[in-house]
């Protein structure tokens, strides 16, 4: 199977009451760990690339690694649908470059612009993308947290206004919509002692206004305590790292949410494993020695997500 768009994945996920995992990728070990988990669990997959990842690894390296993942799945006898997606595209030019470079899906994040400007930019991207067989994710509402160099403080974050979603989708022609209901980027989503809460009422109202339309949840890492502990027990310093409780993510996956974005959990799994390895083997210096367990830890994490959180195992 060639790389696919997310259209068919989202249709089945919506009808089946599960969500597709969209995992951020930056290097070979991350791509391998995620893909091996998806192959073993027969789960449709979105591999997403941020502009920071593209700068770090270069478009062509990531693209070739993702194509290799597809071939690896075929060799394992699994016809794994993989969608390659631009995460948080911020300009038309960046989206165009990814579309021209073989991505099957792009996000144009105009959430920091006015409603009218967001519509204008998103529509421009949709027109180019659709002409090239590529799908587009837009965003309404603003998440707190860190994306690339942009740090959105909690006071600048805002929930999605359900009154705007129909007009936004109709005027832009987007294929999916990211909304802000209280999730946030990074490893510090709630303050210690604060009760984690998501605005499921907003999600419900959005899906009532957009029946059958796929919704996307960013900032959806659960910041798994096991990995935070692994980091802190091995010289790291991440006190008070708190994520979205898994039961809330499961509830979202059963609803109109068809795509759940996960990056921080991958970072924690990889870093925890490497820190532990260095602590236990201070004399080792072959990168393969510490990257192998890091890749295994990513695989274990992703399998857990696919089966216990997203419910998309066995759907490929």
Binding site for ligand G3H (CB under 6 A): 24, 50, 52-53, 87-88, 147-148, 185, 263
How many residues in the chain?
316
Q: Is 185 annotated as a binding residue?
A: yes
Told to check if 87 binds ligand 13P by CB under 6 A, we report yes
Q: Is 87 a catalytic residue?
A: yes
Q: Give the β-pairing of 150-152 and 145-147.
A: antiparallel
In the complex, least distance from residue 24 CB atom to ligand G3H, rounded to whole angstroms = 5
Packing angle of the helix pair 28-41, 287-304 (nearest 10 deg): 40
DSSP tag of 195: P
SS3 state of residue 258? strand
For Zn ion, the binding residues (CB under 5 A) are 218
DSSP tag of 196: P
Return the range that interacts with ligand 13P (CB under 6 A); candidates 68-76, 215-223, 231-239, 300-308: 215-223
SS3 state of residue 173? coil
Task: For residue 25, count CB atoms less than 10 angstroms from its CB and return exposed for 0-12, middle for 13-18, buried for 19 or more.
Answer: buried
Q: Is 109 annotated as a binding residue?
A: yes
Told to check if 220 binds ligand 13P by CB under 6 A, we report yes
Largest CA distance in the chain: 60
* Residue 221 partner contact from Zn ion, ligand G3H, ligand 13P, none using kind-dependent CB cut-offs of 5 to 8 Å: ligand 13P
Task: Please identify, using beta-carbon distances, which residue of 36 and 87 lies nearer to ligand G3H.
Answer: 87
Query: Among residues 82, 165, 263, 276, which is the contact residue for ligand 13P, using CB under 6 A?
Result: 263
Residues binding ligand 13P: number (CB under 6 A): 14
DSSP tag of 100: H
Q: Which residues are catalytic?
A: 87
């Amino acid at each position: 199977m060639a790389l696919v768009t997310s259209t068919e994945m989202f249709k089945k996920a919506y009808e089946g009451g599960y969500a597709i995992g969209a995992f951020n990728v930056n290097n070979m070990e991350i791509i391998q760990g995620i893909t091996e988990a998806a192959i073993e669990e027969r789960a449709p997959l979105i591999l997403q690339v941020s502009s920071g990842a593209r700068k770090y690894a270069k478009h062509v390296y990531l693209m070739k690694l993702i194509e290799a993942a597809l071939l690896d799945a075929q060799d394992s006898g699994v016809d794994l649908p993989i969608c390659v997606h631009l995460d948080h595209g911020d300009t038309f030019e960046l989206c165009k470059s990814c579309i021209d470079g073989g991505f099957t899906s792009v996000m144009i994040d105009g959430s920091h612009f006015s409603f009218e400007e967001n519509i204008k930019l998103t529509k421009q991207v949709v027109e180019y993308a659709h002409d090239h067989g590529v799908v587009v994710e837009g965003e309404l509402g603003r998440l707190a947290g860190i994306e690339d160099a942009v740090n959105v403080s909690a006071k600048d974050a805002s929930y999605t206004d359900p009154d705007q979603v129909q007009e936004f989708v109709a005027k832009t022609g987007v294929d999916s919509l990211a909304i802000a209901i209280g999730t946030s980027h990074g490893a510090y989503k709630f303050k210690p002692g604060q009760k984690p809460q998501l605005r499921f009422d907003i999600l419900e109202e959005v899906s009532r206004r957009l029946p059958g339309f796929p919704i996307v949840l960013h900032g959806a890492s659960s910041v798994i305590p096991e990995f935070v502990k692994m980091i802190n027990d091995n010289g790291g310093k991440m006190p008070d790292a708190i994520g979205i409780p898994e039961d809330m993510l499961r509830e979202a996956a059963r609803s109109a949410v068809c795509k759940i974005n996960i990056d921080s959990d991958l970072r924690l799994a990889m870093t925890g494993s490497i820190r532990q390895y260095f602590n236990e083997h201070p004399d080792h210096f072959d990168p393969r020695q510490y990257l192998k367990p890091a890749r295994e830890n990513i695989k274990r994490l992703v399998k857990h997500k696919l089966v216990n959180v997203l419910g998309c195992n066995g759907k490929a």
